[in-house]
């Protein structure tokens, strides 16, 4: 009985899974250290920030919206939290509360504007991105924060072990936050009323309203959650790069959108899965890592990433295209 | 006891009186039909019952003996009033079980209980004797099955009154029969059903009473068994339209279009017929008989697997609809709102769209005066009632919108005009106008193919009728040689 | 008279004109006449065209119901292609040969842009990829190609004729502004006076209906994205000439701002509606704010915040007015008007 609900969604994930498997096989054959624990941990660390954001954006996309402002929100959250930490000696609890609180409030603002303005969410969030980012750079004058509190710089590693050669392996803050983010997103989407309402809203907004799901409230929650996730992810990012720069994150929004969409989340709303998002993310990360291992100059990374995205969206469009040609107007 | 009573209900939007002083009642377990044309006020009435809009002060709404003053959609639903809108309001991306038990997801904090959800869905299906795969996504269901899901959802929400908006619009006769049986099942369970329709509907076969409204005023409630299509038409439109078949002499010397052995796997087989200048050829059959697919092939948008299409005796192959248009074929799709018209854009731009290339000067710029002249001529020629040509097409009535579509195609100087269900969503006045227009065009030598599943439409307005079933032509009759019941039998046989 | 004005200028433009007047009034006491002093005007005239040309490119894609996220990457690649030709020229070329090389360089840039447009148009028109996704991919691809080929470095030092495009003036009118004016005018004529322009807007509202009317929508989309890319290329040339250098990453912060400028200028983000005039007005408003901020010694980033804020405010006013409209109508019109019926019908499923 369990296979039922998955019908109609398997192809995208299956297809992605096969491509990834092929890449892994080829890379392992060419560079045996590709599958080393060290390399895998490094890939996870490097992709954590984008991955956490994908887990939030996935929910926004399923609800039929899009958010472009999360990178600006994350920049504000990390800057504020670590400025406070440096000035007052606040600890983990406080900075998590500050970053999460700022993210949540800005997200709620997005949700409120999307619900009331009656214009596309992409336009609304481009505008809020401009406002948030503009104010952040004006207030901070674009200055980086160079010194971070030592307890923050040390991070929170779990399961620290070392092998015979003295290499240290640890599940870092980045990795457990990434895993947690996807677990929470999966739980919210599949096991809570909120998640089913998000799917319903994305599938047929008018019907969701008629059934009595408070769509305004739902939008507030969806964008609020995205903001919260962005706020918390910003700390993970700051801890990874060991610095805070107000200009470092903005401009990377579309990378996150691309990963979510590669995983099969439709921009029209109503479809998408956590597994797909993870696979979409994995595809990009493994490709970048593989290129580096194969000794391809890092100057060409973007080119290959673009090639993968273009190929993927062209293949994905195949089914829709066949419908368009074979039964124009009948579908 | 009456389940629902409305007394002196009025509703006004800005300067428009949508409903005035309406009295209405509906008994428990009654099957009632509400009929009215476009803009008659019937959807306003439904919205008031559903709590979407409040009535103007002074009107009373009583449900099960309790006066309702401030009804909201949630309260109305709690009182057992469930509306099934024409678009069904289902979630295509969710499963059958999730759609039926959607009310289980109200409230944000709860966790999904799949077992409860399935039990609720199964119970609702069992109550009305329906069996659907609970785990199938609604997007993959047929229209008729989607409707069943919507009805099950109403049952699962403990409906005491189910309101169905145009439920038969996209069903085949077989499916309509199933719906009627289901409705009787609801009645046995003491659930009232209110059908809403803009035409003489099959549901009248089982309705007990019919209420007719026009221009926001109730014209009366009648016993359904006394109601005839003629009488209903007169009531709805305020005048009577009577049509009869007429024999016209059409020179059948050289066909303008002829088709031989046309096949497309899974759509239609061995299609052959000829069409003569000045002839109106009816093509009827049930939904899914392959009529639209055939029409699209003639219009170059659905390449056939084999067979020949000839224009003036000369075999042609269409690679796209541009080839078909160049050879004088025009096609008016059934879905006027999304395939025929660019609703948000101006009337003028819609009319000139297919002939823009002929309106340019030597260097490729549009010649404004010729453009305006062409638009003016067609609007006048087809008597389209508009404000200015710059108004969006959306502002026109259904009948006038269809005239804009026909004007657009006439501008391409076609020799064959294919009309696919040209009067869907057009009120009786508008329909009559379109029939007259088609006859005038045929009299001027245009060959017309009229596709319709409304038997009277092809019978009274075509010269010759082809019947299509399961992708094959199963009958051909001259309109003036056949009576309505016989033709109906041919279609349903 | 107001009706006539409304028809010739359009509602959005009227709103923008009002905004413009308001801004000038507000700015006058703060900055005095420095805003409109020759120096202020001249700096505006050199700055506006970059964003302006990019916004024009975005406008074409938006009108067709799409979006082009690859315009900046395309502009840079086109500039780099032109730069490569210029750099490949033999030392000491002069006279007719130099002019030929320079013309060849610009043509090479345009051809490069056209190739990107061809890719975008194929993806959107023929493969039916959603425009956001398609151009998101090509944006990364094109930028990646530019970075890969240049290793992220700057190509600089161009002949004076090229630099003239960025900093010269003809009859007192700065070259970039002249170029912008020409492109804007050309696009305006193309969009309103040719079959292609009409089809472009109609496709933006309902592509299927246009296709059923016998228009080759796939080819039209292909042309649309090629046009977008080539307008973007002109922006690339202006940037190259102004900075006397070309790079894979110039002007990236303009990407989302171009969408903002278009929407503020009344180009419908869902396609089908919008005029070049509206966009030009919105660009003037944005540029005035930017220059005023500079004169008031505000950070350039505050300008960005104000731009975003203005878009939100304008949308908010529109939303509030839409909310109030039924209420106002009820208050204002006690008499039944038959003409009003249509607005009721248009609101919900007709009955």
For residues B158-171, average pLDDT:
86
Contacts of C212 in chain B (CB under 8 A): 301, 321, 331, 333, 339-340
Residues 6+ apart with CB under 8 A from B68: B61, B62, B75, B79
Q: Which range (A51-65, A138-152, C34-48, C137-151) has the least confidence?
A: C34-48
Query: What does CATH list as the number for C10-318?
Result: 1.10.3470
Q: Where are the alpha helices (DSSP H) in chain A?
A: 10-30, 37-62, 70-88, 92-117, 121-140, 150-154, 173-191, 193-203, 205-211, 215-241, 253-262, 274-293, 301-326
The answer, yes or no, to whether residue C338 has pLDDT greater than 60, is no
For residues B391-406, average pLDDT:
90
Quick one: pLDDT at residue B208?
A: 92
With an 8 Å Cβ cutoff, are C351 and B395 in contact?
A: no
Q: Is some CB atom of chain B closer than 8 A to the CB atom of A188?
A: no
Quick one: pLDDT at residue B492?
A: 76
Which residue does chain C place closest to B214, by CA atoms?
A: C351
Q: Is some CB atom of chain B closer than 8 A to the CB atom of A8?
A: yes
Quick one: pLDDT at residue B74?
A: 82
DSSP letter for B480, please: G
Run of H or E residues at C311: helix C300-332
CA-to-CA distance for C135 and C123, rounded, in angstroms? 9
Report residue C335's pLDDT band, with 50, 70 and 90 as the boundaries. Answer: very low
CA A130 to chain centre: 20
Predicted-complex ipTM score: 0.86
Count helices and strands in chain B by DSSP H and E runs: 15, 20
* Average pLDDT of chain B, as a whole number: 89
The answer, yes or no, to whether residue C342 has pLDDT greater than 50, is no
For residues A169-187, average pLDDT:
92
Report residue A126's pLDDT band, with 50, 70 and 90 as the boundaries. Answer: very high
Quick one: pLDDT at residue C336?
A: 39
Contacts of C312 in chain A (CB under 8 A): 113, 117, 124, 127-128, 131
- Gyration radius (Cα) of chain A, Å: 21
For residues B450-470, average pLDDT:
90
CA-to-CA distance for B230 and B227, rounded, in angstroms? 8
Quick one: pLDDT at residue C1?
A: 42
The residue ranges of every structural domain in chain A are 10-320
Mutating which of C202, C209, C210, C336 best tests the B interface, going by the most B Cβ atoms within 10 A?
A: C209
Check if CATH label 1.10.3470 holds for domain A10-320.
Answer: yes
With an 8 Å Cβ cutoff, are A116 and C269 in contact?
A: no
The answer, yes or no, to whether residue C227 has pLDDT greater than 90, is yes
The residue ranges of every structural domain in chain C are 10-318
For residue range A84-106, list pLDDT tens digits in order: 999 988 888 999 999 999 999 99
Percent of chain B residues topping a pLDDT of 90? 50
For residues C45-59, average pLDDT:
93
With an 8 Å Cβ cutoff, are A306 and C298 in contact?
A: no
Quick one: pLDDT at residue A8?
A: 43
For residues C185-192, average pLDDT:
95
- Least CB–CB distance from C210: residue in B39, B353, B360: B353
The answer, yes or no, to whether residue C346 has pLDDT greater than 50, is no
Contacts of B345 in chain C (CB under 8 A): 201-202, 205-206, 272
Report residue C341's pLDDT band, with 50, 70 and 90 as the boundaries. Answer: very low
* Helix, strand, or coil (residue C345): helix
Q: Which range (A192-201, A263-272, B194-203) has the least confidence?
A: B194-203
Quick one: pLDDT at residue B16?
A: 74
For residues A148-177, average pLDDT:
81
For residue range B305-356, list pLDDT tens digits in order: 999 999 999 999 999 999 999 999 999 998 888 899 999 999 999 999 999 9
With an 8 Å Cβ cutoff, are A212 and B95 in contact?
A: no
For residue range B170-218, list pLDDT tens digits in order: 777 778 888 888 899 899 989 999 999 877 777 778 899 999 998 888 9
- Least CB–CB distance from C305: residue in A123, A131, A309: A131
Quick one: pLDDT at residue C215?
A: 95
* Helix, strand, or coil (residue B99): helix
The answer, yes or no, to whether residue C211 has pLDDT greater than 90, is yes
With an 8 Å Cβ cutoff, are B137 and A199 in contact?
A: no
Percent helix / strand / coil, chain C, rounded to 5: 80, 0, 20
Quick one: pLDDT at residue C190?
A: 95
Quick one: pLDDT at residue C331?
A: 57
Report residue C7's pLDDT band, with 50, 70 and 90 as the boundaries. Answer: low
C296 strand-pairing partners: none
For residue range A1-11, list pLDDT tens digits in order: 333 333 444 46
Quick one: pLDDT at residue B248?
A: 82
With an 8 Å Cβ cutoff, are C302 and A310 in contact?
A: no
Q: Which domains, from first to last, does chain B contain?
A: 2-237 (3.40.50.300), 257-492 (3.40.50.300)
How many angstroms separate the Cα of C198 from the Cα of each of B380, B386, C116, C221? 23, 21, 24, 13
Quick one: pLDDT at residue B233?
A: 77
Quick one: pLDDT at residue A316?
A: 79
Report residue B289's pLDDT band, with 50, 70 and 90 as the boundaries. Answer: confident
Q: Subunits with at least 3 CB pairs below 8 A relative to chain B?
A: A, C
Q: Which range (A101-105, A185-189, B6-10) has the least confidence?
A: B6-10
| Residue B365, phi then psi, degrees to nearest 5 | -90, 150
Quick one: pLDDT at residue C14?
A: 67
How many angstroms separate the Cα of A151 from the Cα of each of A154, A242, B405, C186? 5, 12, 72, 61
Nearest CA of chain C to the CA of B304: how many Å? 18
The answer, yes or no, to whether residue A263 has pLDDT greater than 60, is yes
For residue range B263-283, list pLDDT tens digits in order: 999 899 999 999 999 999 999
Question: CB of C165 within 8 A of CB of C238?
Answer: yes
In terms of C-beta density within 10 A (0-12 exposed, 13-18 middle, 19 or more buried), how is residue A331 classed?
Answer: exposed
Q: Is some CB atom of chain B closer than 8 A to the CB atom of A202?
A: yes
Quick one: pLDDT at residue C347?
A: 32
CA-to-CA distance for B139 and B91, rounded, in angstroms? 8
| Residue B32, phi then psi, degrees to nearest 5 | -125, 145
Quick one: pLDDT at residue C143?
A: 95
The answer, yes or no, to whether residue C330 has pLDDT greater than 60, is no
Residues 6+ apart with CB under 8 A from B148: B130, B132, B182
CA-to-CA distance for B106 and A209, rounded, in angstroms? 12
Quick one: pLDDT at residue B434?
A: 93
Nearest CA of chain C to the CA of B254: how many Å? 27
Cα end-to-end distance, chain A, whole Å? 29
Quick one: pLDDT at residue B257?
A: 96
Q: Is some CB atom of chain B closer than 8 A to the CB atom of A118?
A: no
- pTM score over 0.90: no
Which tops the pLDDT comparison, C213 or B225?
C213
For residue range A29-48, list pLDDT tens digits in order: 999 889 888 899 999 999 99
In terms of C-beta density within 10 A (0-12 exposed, 13-18 middle, 19 or more buried), how is residue B443 classed?
Answer: exposed
Quick one: pLDDT at residue B226?
A: 83
The answer, yes or no, to whether residue C45 has pLDDT greater than 70, is yes
- Which of B167, B196, B191 is CA-nearest to residue B37? B196
* Average pLDDT of chain A, as a whole number: 87
Quick one: pLDDT at residue B399?
A: 86
Q: Report long-range pairs for C20-29 (Cβ below 8 Å, ≥24 apart).
A: C20/C281, C20/C284, C20/C285, C20/C288, C23/C285, C23/C288, C23/C289, C23/C292, C24/C288, C27/C288, C27/C292
For residues B233-244, average pLDDT:
74
Report residue A319's pLDDT band, with 50, 70 and 90 as the boundaries. Answer: low
Tokens at A9, concatenated: 């969604």
Which tops the pLDDT comparison, C139 or C314?
C139
Quick one: pLDDT at residue C6?
A: 53
In terms of C-beta density within 10 A (0-12 exposed, 13-18 middle, 19 or more buried), how is residue A252 classed?
Answer: middle
Q: Where are the alpha helices (DSSP H) in B35-140?
A: 42-49, 73-78, 96-100, 114-127
Quick one: pLDDT at residue A322?
A: 53
- Least CB–CB distance from B90: residue in A192, A195, A207: A207
């Amino acid at each position: 009985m369990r296979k039922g609900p998955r019908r109609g969604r398997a192809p995208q994930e299956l297809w992605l899974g096969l491509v990834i498997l092929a890449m892994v096989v080829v890379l392992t054959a060419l560079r045996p250290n590709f599958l080393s624990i060290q390399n895998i941990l490094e890939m996870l660390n490097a992709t954590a920030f984008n991955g956490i954001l994908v887990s939030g954006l996935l929910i926004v996309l399923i609800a039929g919206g899009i958010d472009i402002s999360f990178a600006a929100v994350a920049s504000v959250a990390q800057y504020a939290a670590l400025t406070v930490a440096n000035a007052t000696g606040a600890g983990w609890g406080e900075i998590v509360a500050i970053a999460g609180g700022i993210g949540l409030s800005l997200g709620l603002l997005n949700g409120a504007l999307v619900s009331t303005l009656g214009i596309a969410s992409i336009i609304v969030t481009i505008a809020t991105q401009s406002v948030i980012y503009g104010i952040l750079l004006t207030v901070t004058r674009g200055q980086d924060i160079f010194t971070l509190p030592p307890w923050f710089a040390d991070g929170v590693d779990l399961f620290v072990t070392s092998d015979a050669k003295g290499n240290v392996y640890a599940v870092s803050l980045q990795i457990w936050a990434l895993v947690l983010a996807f677990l929470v997103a999966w739980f919210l989407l599949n096991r809570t009323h909120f998640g089913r309402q998000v799917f319903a809203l994305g599938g047929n907004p008018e019907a969701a309203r008629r059934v009595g799901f408070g769509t305004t409230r739902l939008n507030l929650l969806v964008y609020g959650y995205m903001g919260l996730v962005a706020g918390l992810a910003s700390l993970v990012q700051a801890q990874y790069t060991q610095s805070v720069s107000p200009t470092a994150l903005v401009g990377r929004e579309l990378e996150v959108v691309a990963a979510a969409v590669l995983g099969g989340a439709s921009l029209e709303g109503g479809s998408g899965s956590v597994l797909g998002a993870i696979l979409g993310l994995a595809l990009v990360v493994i490709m970048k890592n593989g290129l580096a291992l194969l000794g391809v100059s890092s100057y060409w990374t973007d080119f290959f990433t673009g090639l993968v995205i273009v190929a993927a969206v062209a293949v994905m469009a195949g089914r829709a295209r066949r419908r368009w040609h074979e039964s124009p107007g009948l579908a | 006891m009456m389940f629902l009573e409305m007394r002196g209900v009025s509703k006004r939007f800005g300067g428009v009186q949508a409903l005035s002083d309406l009295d209405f009642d509906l008994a428990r377990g009654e099957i009632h039909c509400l009929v009215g044309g476009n803009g008659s006020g019937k959807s306003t009435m439904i919205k008031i019952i559903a709590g979407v809009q409040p009535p103007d002060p002074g009107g009373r709404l009583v449900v099960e003996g309790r006066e309702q003053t401030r009804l909201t959609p949630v309260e109305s639903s709690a009182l057992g009033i469930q509306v099934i809108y024409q678009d069904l309001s289902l979630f295509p991306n969710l499963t059958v079980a999730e759609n039926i038990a959607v009310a289980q997801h109200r409230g944000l904090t709860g966790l999904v209980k799949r077992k409860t959800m399935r039990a609720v869905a199964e119970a609702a299906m069992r109550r009305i004797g329906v069996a659907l795969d609970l785990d199938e996504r609604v997007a993959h269901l047929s229209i008729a099955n989607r409707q069943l899901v919507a009805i099950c959802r109403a049952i699962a929400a403990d409906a005491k009154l189910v309101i169905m908006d145009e439920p038969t619009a996209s069903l085949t006769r077989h499916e309509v029969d199933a719906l009627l049986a289901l409705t009787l099942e609801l009645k046995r369970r003491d659930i009232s059903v209110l059908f809403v329709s803009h035409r003489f509907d099959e549901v009248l076969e089982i309705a007990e009473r019919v209420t007719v409204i026009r221009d926001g005023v109730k014209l009366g409630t009648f016993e359904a068994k006394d109601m005839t299509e003629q009488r209903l038409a007169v009531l709805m439109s305020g005048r009577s339209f009577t049509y009869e078949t007429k024999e016209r002499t059409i020179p059948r010397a050289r066909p303008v279009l002829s088709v031989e052995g046309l096949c497309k796997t899974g759509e239609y087989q061995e299609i052959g017929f000829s069409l003569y200048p000045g002839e109106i050829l009816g093509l009827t059959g049930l939904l899914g008989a392959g009529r639209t697919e055939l029409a699209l092939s003639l219009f170059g948008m659905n390449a056939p697997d084999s067979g020949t299409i000839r224009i003036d005796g000369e075999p042609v192959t269409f690679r796209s609809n541009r080839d078909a248009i160049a050879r004088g074929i025009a096609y008016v799709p059934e879905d006027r709102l999304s395939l025929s018209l660019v609703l948000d854009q101006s009337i003028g731009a819609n009319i000139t769209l297919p002939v823009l290339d002929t309106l340019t000067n030597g260097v490729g710029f549009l010649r404004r005066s010729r453009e305006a002249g062409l638009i003016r001529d067609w609007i006048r020629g087809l008597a389209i009632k508009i404000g200015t040509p710059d108004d969006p097409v959306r502002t026109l009535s259904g009948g006038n919108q269809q005239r804009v579509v026909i004007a657009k195609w006439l501008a391409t100087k076609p020799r064959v005009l294919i009309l696919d269900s040209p009067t869907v969503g057009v009120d009786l006045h508008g329909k009559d106008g379109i029939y007259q227009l088609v006859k005038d065009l045929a009299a001027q030598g245009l060959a017309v193919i009229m596709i319709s599943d409304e038997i009277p439409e092809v019978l009274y307005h075509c010269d010759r009728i082809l019947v299509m079933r399961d992708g094959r032509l199963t009958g051909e009759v001259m309109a003036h040689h056949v009576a309505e019941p016989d033709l109906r039998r041919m279609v349903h046989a | 008279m107001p009706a006539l004005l409304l028809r010739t200028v359009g509602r959005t433009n009227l709103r923008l004109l009002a905004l413009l007047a308001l801004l000038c009034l507000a700015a006058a006491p703060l900055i005095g006449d420095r805003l409109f002093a020759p120096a202020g005007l001249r700096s505006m005239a050199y700055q506006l065209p970059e964003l302006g040309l990019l916004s024009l490119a975005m406008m074409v894609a938006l009108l067709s119901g799409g979006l082009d996220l690859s315009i900046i990457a395309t502009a840079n690649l086109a500039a780099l292609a032109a730069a490569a030709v210029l750099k490949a020229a033999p030392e000491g070329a002069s006279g007719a040969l130099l002019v030929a090389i320079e013309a060849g360089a610009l043509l090479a840039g345009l051809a490069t842009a056209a190739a990107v447009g061809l890719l975008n148009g194929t993806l959107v028109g023929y493969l039916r990829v959603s425009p956001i996704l398609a151009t998101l991919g090509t944006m990364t691809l094109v930028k990646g190609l530019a970075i890969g080929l240049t290793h992220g470095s700057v190509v600089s030092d161009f002949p004076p004729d090229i630099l003239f495009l960025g900093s010269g003036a003809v009859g007192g009118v700065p070259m970039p502004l002249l170029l912008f004016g020409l492109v804007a005018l050309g696009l305006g004529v193309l969009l309103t006076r040719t079959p292609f322009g009409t089809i472009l807007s109609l496709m933006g509202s309902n592509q299927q209906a246009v296709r059923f009317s016998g228009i080759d929508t796939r080819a039209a989309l292909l042309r649309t994205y090629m046009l977008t890319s080539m307008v973007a290329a002109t922006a690339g040339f202006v940037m190259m000439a102004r900075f006397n250098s070309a790079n894979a990453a110039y002007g990236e912060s303009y990407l989302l701002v171009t969408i903002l400028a278009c929407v503020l200028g009344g180009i419908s983000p869902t396609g089908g509606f919008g005029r070049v005039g509206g966009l030009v007005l919105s660009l003037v408003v944005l540029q005035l704010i930017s220059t005023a901020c500079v004169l008031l010694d505000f950070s350039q980033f505050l300008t960005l915040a104000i731009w975003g804020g203005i878009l939100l405010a304008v949308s908010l006013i529109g939303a509030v007015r839409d909310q109030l409209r039924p209420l106002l109508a009820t208050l204002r019109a006690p008499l039944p008007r038959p003409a009003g019926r249509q607005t009721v019908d248009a609101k919900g499923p007709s009955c």
